[in-house]
Structure 1
Amino acid sequence: ATFWFLPTPVISELVPSLGAEEGGTAVMVVGSGFSPGVQTECRFGMKGVVRASWLSATSIMCTSPRGGGGNTSFEVSNNGVDFTTQGLRFGFMRSVGAATLSPSQGPHTGGTTITVTARGLTR
């Protein structure tokens, strides 16, 4: 039998570190120890585990699952068992609905105050 030793990756950055609560955000994970040809996975806390695409020994790409909202831990594994422990977080943001602007135009010199109205905005 062949035995493979796969080191646990180290992650240093998520680009971006925020995504839509509906999921589908492409997240580049920067770090070290990513191995080609293995089942590298990204875990978005309790929101879900997704398969990663290997880019290089220092970067992989994951697509965020549906998240609901709020921040969650983010971890990576080369073997589906041993996950990173760097404490990085990924935030799921509520999507903003169609926006309206009032007024919709102003003088070319600027200075016009506008009001933005949309679903999902907070102060």
Structure 2
Amino acid sequence: MSKKKPTLRTFLDAGVPDSVGRKLEEFGHTVIYHRNALPERTPDDVVCITAMENDAILVAIDGDMKQLAKRYGVTPKGDKFDKLSIIRLCCNEVLAAKRLEQALPLIEVEWEYATVKTARRMWIDIFPHAIQTNR
């Protein structure tokens, strides 16, 4: 008897290609596209809050979000982004969907781990030749 895999609820930032969303949907995950929820050029902190309010994992690819992630990467207790789960695609748009597909088994395991404790969040960086989890 196999264990049922988790269903991820994701929020794709504006710069993330649709191919990433389609890949997530192909594997049974829920995708909220930025354009269906927020106007263009929405500030990154609003994007993060929107992801959290929708109980979604933020999927980001752009440089601005990397700066926001750097600022809030290690968040003190009580910080407004301390519960933000994020998948950062640290590769170009052409590689993004394929690298995400390759990382999905790890992402699903990490999500299960992160949901065991309420104080946990998931943070994964996907590079062209590496995948990094931050616990």
TM superposition score category, shorter chain reference: under 0.3
User: When you count helix as a share of all residues, which structure comes out higher?
Assistant: 2
